[in-house]
Amino acid sequence: MFTESAELYDVIYSSFKDYPAESAQIAQLLRSIDPSYHRLLDVGCGTGEHAYLLANRHGFAVDGLDIDPEFVRIAQTKNPAGRFFEADMSDFSLSTLYDAVLCLFSSIGYVKTLDRLERTLACFRTHLEHQGRVVVEPWFPPGKMQPGHHSERIGERAGVRVRRVGTTELDGRVSRLRFEYTIESDRGVRHATETHELGLFTVDEMLAAFAAAGLVAEYESAGLAGRGLYVARVAA
Domain map (residue ranges) of the chain: 17-141+201-234, 150-199
pLDDT at 174 over 60: yes
Say what angle helices 114-126 and 203-212 make with each other, to 10 degrees.
50
Which pLDDT score, from 0 to 100, does residue 5 have?
62
Which pLDDT score, from 0 to 100, does residue 158 have?
86
Neighbour-count burial for 55-68, b at 16+ CB within 10 Å, e otherwise: beebebebbbbbbb
The pLDDT-based confidence of 209 (bands split at 50, 70, 90) is very high
Question: CA 22, CA 28: separation in Å to the nearest integer?
Answer: 10
Render pLDDT for 3-14 as a digit per residue (tens, 0 to 9). 666 778 888 998
The mean pLDDT value for 142-161 works out to: 93
Task: Report how far apart, in Å, the C-alpha atoms of 161 and of each of 12, 48, 157, 177, 196 are.
Answer: 9, 21, 7, 21, 22
Stretch (H or E) spanning 54: helix 49-56
Closest CA to 144 of 65, 57, 203: 203
Same fold flag, 17-141+201-234 and 150-199: no
Render pLDDT for 76-114 as a digit per residue (tens, 0 to 9). 999 999 999 999 999 999 999 999 999 999 999 999 999
The mean pLDDT value for 215-236 works out to: 96
Which pLDDT score, from 0 to 100, does residue 3 have?
60
DSSP secondary structure string for all residues of 86-97: E-BTTB---S--
Report the topology of domain 150-199. S-adenosyl-L-methionine-dependent methyltransferases (2.20.130)
Q: What is 17-141+201-234's CATH superfamily?
A: Vaccinia Virus protein VP39 (3.40.50.150)
The pLDDT-based confidence of 157 (bands split at 50, 70, 90) is confident
Residues 89 and 71: beta-carbon distance below 8 Å: no
Can you name the residues that pair with 189 across neighbouring β-strands? 184
This prediction's pTM: 0.95
